[in-house]
Chains A and B, each alone.
Chain A
Amino acid sequence: MKFKDTLGYSFSAIRLRKLRSGLTTLGIVIGIAAIVALLSFTQGFEVSITDQFQDGFSTDTLIVSAQNPMQVPGGGVEPSDFTMYTNDSESIETVDGVIFATPLVSSRATIESDLTSTTAEVTGVNYTEFAALYSTTFVAELGAIPEEPANDSVIIGQSLYDPWNNGTYFVDIGDSLTVTINAGLPTEKNVTLTVVGVLAEVGGSSFGVGPSDSGVYLTLDTAVDFFESDEVKSIVVQLVSDNEATINAVTLDIEALFDYEATVTSMTSLLDTMTTMLGTIELLLTGIAGISLLVAGVGIMNIMIVSLMERTREIGILKALGAKGRTVMGIFLTEALLIGVIGGVVGIAAGALLANLFSGLLGGGFTMGGRTPSDLSFGTITPILTPELALWAMFFGVVVSVVFALYPAWRASKLDPVDALRKE
């Protein structure tokens, strides 16, 4: 039997049982749609993160911290008692390939304006160096980043300035802001500062370094005085270049400088870590969607076996008319193939639609975890459906359909024509 004829014959069999074929196909559609929607969404997410990462952070910088910035708090690893101080930046600056190193001192604190109060991460930085490091994000939208700041200067992030997005500002340029640490404790102390600048919207996430929309930035000296400690959270290092050799060499040198107790993170490796994490998430989601596809496959097998029983006589007729076992097998496998192809096409379309619907619903206010929205907001995510993804989805849909039809088709091909014809 020619393939074209097998196709026609199988299609007529599918068309005859519209509802049943439709429901069987629906299983595949759901499986494929889930894969396509989840993966195109994850890919869009990945691109959006990577873009913001590359927008917001310079690749020619390193971050030196006493603790691993990517380490989950309470994640089982004993935090070391190694600490770094502001003057460690001077020793880092002696390393070859380093232009300058700037320390970051920070603490969680309560900040209070005339209007209300909130908590935020308060960071002491050298304005000039910080602006040089993050030339695209540490930029004032209002006011200015003073070159020679007064001791009571403070610069705030966009979402702190306009927390409700409605034109009611937490504080404005020239207003005073009171920062309190250890609120409620006997050691409580506060300082009153004057807002000199508001950062333009950074977007994305700070991942613990770089300017943030919810950040409060004091001058380094004020922060050290106020916190009564020159212990630093991290030291950001500006390198001469972002080539891999420089990054690796400087990383090794700095690690040696601190007897391998400090963690040196390059933005590139941070990006790699993020990509790996997203890859894991992607794999997990694919697995979940894959399960639904497997369930659909079992559905196909089930329906095929029922169909085999109903069509025993038809198989007998085909065999009596000279059909070989492989012809009968071909007919059944082609039915599965058609279901796979139709399910795949509809599934890809449905998946693309679903992903866009998701992103529409989540657009703008998409948040992760239990942190304040501005901490980890990724803006609108545009799902990305690559031709490769569509092809793979199609491929898996067809493979699952055909593989699960193998057993029923094989049984059909092995039916004895005499027995099959006797069946009512």
Chain B
Amino acid sequence: MNTNTVLEVQDLKRTYQLGSIPVHALRGVSFQVNAGEFVSVLGPSGSGKSTLLNMIGALDRPSEGTLAIRGTEVGTLNDNQLAELRQRVGFVFQFFNLISRLDAIGNVELPLTIAGVPAEERRAKAEQMLEKVGLGDRMHHKPSELSGGERQRVAVARALVTDPSFLLMDEPTGNLDSVTAGEIMDLVDTVNQELGMTVIVVTHDPDVSSRARRKIRLVDGQIDSDEVNNN
């Protein structure tokens, strides 16, 4: 394995039991992502995108095959080890998933709080990250006092504050208008290029996937194409 590899997926399979019927969500997927890459995973609904996303985010374990995050094999970990691994994954969700009773800075601090980082250190990191996403003046606003775009910026700041192995985004613009979506993707571009952060974005929005420099297309639980983006 290349030391530059942040994610390595080998013949990954995931089968669910829907009642007595087995559902093959992923039927053997292999690819790897290197540091600094900007990869989009796209495909129609039912293609296994979400299943793949859950496993890349260390929320779920493979049925067969392997998935390694910075060399750590996900399938062999217990629940606690999996939780610790998630502290190294920067998750951004379609529905923002902020804690409504915490203000922006409280939300950004949360992963650090969970990881047991001392209060002063995490406050400083969170402030810095909110400045970076352009919300330096909105730190003490609750999510309900922020616009959709601002909320997603908070979510991006929260994902980045732990200095993760990669930024994993699930339909990050699915809940935003096209202008705001463009702004968020500009931010993601900046994060990728200026901070050198690896970005994996799962989407079915062509505008989003066109920003990526590599496109992985999933169809029926298998990779249909894996190509460099020419745009």
A interface residues, Cβ below 8 angstroms from B: 1-2, 5, 9, 12-13, 15-16, 313-314, 316-327, 417-418, 421
Contacts and interface: CB of A to CB of B under 8 A. Distances in A.
**Which of A9, A16, A314, A325 is packed against the most chain B CB atoms within 10 Å?**
A9
A318 B99 CA distance: 9
Given A321-B87, A321-B114, A418-B60, A313 B80 contact: no
B19 interface: no
Contacts of A1: 113-116
Contact of A13 (B79, B101, B113, B119): B101
A319 B83 contact: yes
29 contacts: A1-B113, A1-B114, A1-B115, A1-B116, A2-B113, A5-B113, A5-B119, A12-B102, A15-B101, A16-B101, A317-B97, A317-B98, A318-B114, A319-B86, A320-B91, A320-B93, A320-B97, A321-B114, A321-B158, A322-B84, A322-B87, A322-B162, A324-B79, A324-B80, A324-B84, A325-B79, A325-B83, A418-B60, A421-B93
A322 B79 contact: no
A325 B79 CA distance: 8
Contact of A320 (B59, B84, B98, B115): B59
Contacts of B57: 320
**Which of B84, B87, B101 is packed against the most chain A CB atoms within 10 Å?**
B101
Given A418-B60, A421-B93, A323 B114 contact: yes
A323 B110 CA distance: 10
Interface string B88-102: 000101000111011
Nearest to A322: B87
Contacts of A323: 83, 114
Contact of B91 (A15, A321, A326, A327): A321
Contacts of A327: 83, 114
B202 to A, nearest CB: 14
Contact of A321 (B60, B80, B111, B116): B111
A321 B110 contact: yes
B54 A418 contact: yes
Interface residues of B, number: 27
A339 to B, nearest CB: 17
Nearest to A420: B59
Given A5-B119, A317-B97, A321-B114, 4 more contacts: A321-B86, A322-B83, A322-B86, A324-B83
Nearest to B98: A317
Nearest to B113: A5
B86 A421 contact: no
A418 B59 CA distance: 6
Contacts of A314: 99
A318 B101 CA distance: 14
B166 to A, nearest CB: 15
A323 B79 CA distance: 10
A417 B59 contact: yes
Interface in B52-77: 54, 57, 59-60
A319 B57 CA distance: 11
B165 to A, nearest CB: 12
B19 to A, nearest CB: 16
A313 B98 CA distance: 10
B97 A421 contact: yes
B107 to A, nearest CB: 9
Nearest to A311: B99
A325 B114 CA distance: 12
A9 B112 CA distance: 13
Contacts of A320: 57, 59, 86, 91, 93, 97
Nearest to B55: A418
B25 to A, nearest CB: 12
A421 B79 CA distance: 16
A12 B101 contact: yes
Contacts of B99: 314, 317
A313 B83 contact: no
Nearest to B122: A5
**Which 9 pairs, one residue from A and one from B, show the smallest C-beta to C-beta distance?**
A322-B87, A324-B83, A322-B86, A321-B111, A417-B59, A317-B97, A16-B101, A323-B114, A5-B113
B136 to A, nearest CB: 22
B183 to A, nearest CB: 24
A9 B111 CA distance: 13
A322 B165 CA distance: 14
B111 to A, nearest CB: 4
Contacts of B162: 322
Interface string B127-168: 000000000000000000000000000000010001000000
A15 B158 CA distance: 24
Interface string B6-42: 0000000000000000000000000000000000000
Contact of A322 (B60, B98, B115): B115
A302 to B, nearest CB: 22
Contacts of B83: 319, 322-325, 327
